[in-house]
A and B are shown apart, each in its own frame.
Chain A
Amino acid sequence: MKTKKRVTDPFGNKLKELDKTIELKISSELDDNETVLAQLFANCSDLVVRKLHMFGSIPGMVVYLDVLVDDQLWDDGFLEPLMQPEAASSSSSSHIYEILNFKLASIVQPRIAKNMNEVVQSIVRGEVVLFTQSATEAFSFGLKNKLHRQLEEPATEAVIRGPRYGFIEKLDINLALIRHRLRTPRLKTEKLCAGRLSQTDVMIVYIEDLAEQSVVEEMKKRISSIDMDSVLESGYIEELISDHPYSPFPLMQATQRPDLVSGSLIEGKIAVLIDGSPNVLVLPITFWFGFQTAEDYYSNFIYVTMLRWLRYLFAFLAMALPAIFIAITTFHQEMIPTSLALSLAAAREVVPFPAIAEGLIMEITFEALREAGIRLPRPVGQTISIVGALVIGQAAVQAGIISAPQIIVVSVTGIASFLIPNPGMSQAISIIRFPLMFLAASFGLYGVGIGLICVLIHLVTLKSFGVPYMTPIAPFNPTGLTDTLIRAPWRVMRRRQKQTQRRME
């Protein structure tokens, strides 16, 4: 496997200096700690430092970021039990730890922070840090404000049949959604951290014995070698740990559907959950995964088989139709039926541009309209893009700038690109369309053929975490065909599941 190139950034060095200052011991004097923290958190108006006497006698200091802490928990769960008088015999930290542990049973167990670095880490994560007089350790409590939105149906992966809720931006809840479906201790979760500034939690989830352990190790290695200031979305991870970062094709599936993730885990795949992102990465995937949806497994298999072929067909059209149209109308006119050839010629009579220019103008306009539609509020966006395309198309034809057949081709291409369930796959295919059009314009169908072969070569050399991208077609694996060329009924696919179970035992 390839080794990842380190991403260098100008802020790196500055941050490392900052790291050094934090490598401080915790002072036994509360005031010293306060000054250090006040320095570090200068100009942070949301930092709260409160001095108090725990259990009526022991002097302590509580530090936290106001915005991140849950008020209710703070009052009832933490402050109240802490302020109750208690006959504390000594103020040694181990003793206090015991008391805290016992007293604050209603909230989480306190963790011990051994140096200033850990303290700062805890504070920025929304924990409450408690210093006590004459102790060189601090205690941190997770009183995190559970800030999250309602579970909703993911807008990009809507289904007719199937569960309605999708992942949200909170890692814990996302994990819970998976655990709800896979009730087994074999579901392993390993937490990592990425991004120097963002300190994003990244969790690798897999089922023991089903997932390839070497892939899990490789994943861990790649994620921990990420050298970035911030990791804000799963897209960062996807690009940084990919086997072939320069390929347009998605080598990981980003999904918001817990059912899809659970299903993939059972197939031995690995999921990567990223805090702050509702998109969970599933890997390794194959090319065919880009044409499957979760709903495929809930609906009638005959219908789904037809749907899949429809998707393959339209994916091909989305990629090659404009190119083929250009090739045939400018190179191989004898292939067009005579009457159609006459009407095509008639339609082109007034158009000033060559077919390739026509095609490019309309394709680019279409992509622009699509992009414009995404940014607008949903109801407006859809109307804009459809109406825009129609109006521009109609007007362009009537003005004699673009020929009507070309508009039809572009529209079919557009519809076809929406038929591909995976947005990453859809984007990849839209990008390939343009070089193919150029090849078609200079070499006709020969160029298109050459272009498609190039795409094929690229696809067969791709690997997603050791799995060849075109499996099970190349390399050929007959059992895998039951879920690619067709969607076999569950009776048949169950056999495959049994095989994986046997591997588990």
Chain B
Amino acid sequence: MKMKLKGIQVFWIILIMDLGMTLVMTVTPSLQAKQDAWISVIVAGGIATLIALLATQAAKLYPGQTFFEYSHLILGKWIGKAVIVIYLVQWYTITPIILRQFSDLVQVMLLHGTPKEAVMLLMIFVIVYANYAGGIEGIARCGEVLGPIILLMIGLVLIASTNNIQWRNILPVYVDSGMTGILGGALAPASYLGHSVEYLMFAAFLTQQRKGALYTFGAVLTSVFFVLITTLMVIFTLGVNLSSNTWYPFFEMTKKISLFGFIDNFDAIPVVIWLASVFVKFAVMLFLMSYGTAQFLHVRNWRNLIWFIAPVMFVFALIPQDVTEATSNYLQRYWVPFAMPVNMLGLPLLLLVVGKWRQRKRPAAADHA
């Protein structure tokens, strides 16, 4: 049974994957640009759009196939395999890291004493269930329901924060941070917003290939828009001095909301709704890992792999000793300097260029393939 995705589902998946993590994880790093963090976000948005452009163009080369299938059509057997391994390494490492970050956030915001193993296991249980029962189709439908709820939550938080706004917080523009600060701050959000590279995999499941690219751009631009507004709001409400020192400025901002003297400290609700976005992200990642590994190893039923990959994910997530190691080191040592230029920009570009060249050289063969 072939799983099918609709364009709007790809939109929601990419939007949720980009938005959820970026909001929480990368506002702090981008705040190294101080009150100009919002400029960083715009720069990051530009990079993300470029990534989306590369990914969608590359995906057009061989419609109906995942790039695991066509990468050795383009690059030859061995280089193709190497490229696949590079991506698998990315997925196998980023997922446990995010899982670890996620459990840390849950511990900080909701459950101070619960062991991280329990928090992680519960989440793993849910994503395994989603993958086993629904596959990418089921996850996409969950995304369609959860996406609007997540956007609504962000919208409400932003609206409710408006009476905490201090307009002067954003001034002065540019001078304090300078170009290097802004660009430095842009890297982390760009890497998280670059998840549209996974479109290389989704494209194979799309019912209408052509529209997929449009929806992907829509998703990237929408999430950039929301991240931008949120970063501005964080600066307006919290100011730079505090927000750059807290781990999760977005939730600090929600903590500040106080309406009618009744709604106070409601930060747990946004956390729980944010949970939904993490769920979608993990479920998609697990799917990609299982499906990709299955194609790589030529396993017929990818569902069987879920049961092996999920425990591996859990064990990997336990490896980092502390929070700093999990977040900063990974982000600064691997994700930003390696994953972003290579996996998100370099390889799609390589696929695109070589693929185009091959197709031009042997159009008939390509059509046949």
A307 to B170, CA, bound (A): 45
Query: Contact partner of B275 among A332, A334, A450, A475, CB < 8 A?
Result: A450
Contact status A457-B129, CB under 8 Å: yes
A460 to B272, CA, bound (A): 20
B residues near A457, Cβ cutoff 8 Å: 126, 129-130, 133-134, 138, 142
B residues near A449, Cβ cutoff 8 Å: 272-273, 275-276
Interface assignment of A41: CB less than 8 Å from any CB of chain B: no
Q: Is the interface of A mostly helix, strand, loop or mixed?
A: helix
A473 to B140, CA, bound (A): 11
Q: A443-B114, A444-B111, A449-B275 are in contact. Are A461 and B138 (CB under 8 A)?
A: yes
Total contacting residues, chain A, CB less than 8 A: 27
CB distance from B92 to the nearest CB of A (A): 24
Interface string of A443-459 (1 = CB under 8 A from B): 11111111001101110
B residues near A476, Cβ cutoff 8 Å: 6, 8-9, 144
A residues near B358, Cβ cutoff 8 Å: none
Which chain A residue lies CB-closest to B148?
A473
A449 to B8, CA, bound (A): 25
CB distance from B6 to the nearest CB of A (A): 6
Query: Contact partner of A475 among B6, B265, B268, B279, CB < 8 A?
Result: B6
Interface assignment of B150: CB less than 8 Å from any CB of chain A: no
Interface assignment of A377: CB less than 8 Å from any CB of chain B: no
Contact status B268-A450, CB under 8 Å: no
For chain B residues 111-147, which have a beta carbon within 8 Å of chain A?
111, 114, 118-119, 122-123, 126, 129-130, 133-134, 138, 140-146
Q: A335-B268, A474-B144 are in contact. Are A443 and B122 (CB under 8 A)?
A: yes
Interface assignment of B266: CB less than 8 Å from any CB of chain A: yes
CB distance from B256 to the nearest CB of A (A): 13
Name the residue in A444, A445, A453, A461 with the highest tally of chain B Cβ atoms < 10 Å from its Cβ. Answer: A453
Contact status B134-A460, CB under 8 Å: yes
A residues near B173, Cβ cutoff 8 Å: none
A345 to B4, CA, bound (A): 52
Name the residue in B111, B129, B143, B271 with the highest tally of chain A Cβ atoms < 10 Å from its Cβ. Answer: B111
B residues near A446, Cβ cutoff 8 Å: 106, 110-111, 119, 122, 272, 275
Interface string of A329-365 (1 = CB under 8 A from B): 0011011011000000000000000000000000000
A220 to B243, CA, bound (A): 64
Contact status A475-B129, CB under 8 Å: no
Q: A445-B271, A476-B8 are in contact. Are A454 and B145 (CB under 8 A)?
A: no
Interface string of A238-250 (1 = CB under 8 A from B): 0000000000000
A28 to B110, CA, bound (A): 86
Interface assignment of B261: CB less than 8 Å from any CB of chain A: yes
Q: Is the interface of B mostly helix, strand, loop or mixed?
A: helix
Contact status B6-A460, CB under 8 Å: no
B residues near A270, Cβ cutoff 8 Å: none
Q: A337-B262, A448-B272, A454-B126 are in contact. Are A460 and B9 (CB under 8 A)?
A: no
Contact status A337-B141, CB under 8 Å: no
A residues near B126, Cβ cutoff 8 Å: 450, 453-454, 457
A453 to B279, CA, bound (A): 8
Interface assignment of A282: CB less than 8 Å from any CB of chain B: no
B residues near A334, Cβ cutoff 8 Å: 265
B residues near A331, Cβ cutoff 8 Å: 110-111
Query: Contact partner of B142 among A444, A456, A468, CB < 8 A?
Result: A456
Which chain A residue lies CB-closest to B8?
A476
Query: Contact partner of B145 among A337, A458, A473, CB < 8 A?
Result: A473
CB distance from A166 to the nearest CB of B (A): 34
Interface assignment of A470: CB less than 8 Å from any CB of chain B: yes
A residues near B144, Cβ cutoff 8 Å: 473-476
Interface assignment of B264: CB less than 8 Å from any CB of chain A: yes
Which chain B residue lies CB-closest to A446?
B110
Which chain B residue lies CB-closest to A332?
B268
Contact status B138-A460, CB under 8 Å: yes
Which chain A residue lies CB-closest to B135?
A461
CB distance from B3 to the nearest CB of A (A): 12
A334 to B265, CA, bound (A): 6
B residues near A335, Cβ cutoff 8 Å: 264-266, 268-269
Contact status A332-B110, CB under 8 Å: yes
Contact status B142-A460, CB under 8 Å: yes
B residues near A475, Cβ cutoff 8 Å: 6, 9, 141, 144
A300 to B86, CA, bound (A): 60
B residues near A473, Cβ cutoff 8 Å: 144-145
Which chain A residue lies CB-closest to B145?
A474
A103 to B145, CA, bound (A): 67
Beyond the given pairs A446-B106, A474-B145, A476-B8, 11 more chain A to chain B contacts, judged by CB atoms under 8 angstroms and listed by A's residue number, are A331-B111, A335-B268, A338-B264, A443-B122, A446-B119, A446-B122, A453-B275, A454-B126, A474-B141, A475-B144, A476-B144
- In the complex, 18 of the A-B residue pairs with CB atoms within 8 angstroms, ordered by the A residue number, are A337-B264, A338-B264, A444-B111, A446-B119, A448-B272, A450-B122, A453-B146, A454-B126, A454-B129, A456-B145, A456-B146, A457-B129, A460-B134, A460-B141, A460-B142, A461-B134, A470-B145, A473-B144
List the interface of chain A (C-beta within 8 A of B). Answer: 331-332, 334-335, 337-338, 443-450, 453-454, 456-458, 460-461, 468, 470, 473-476
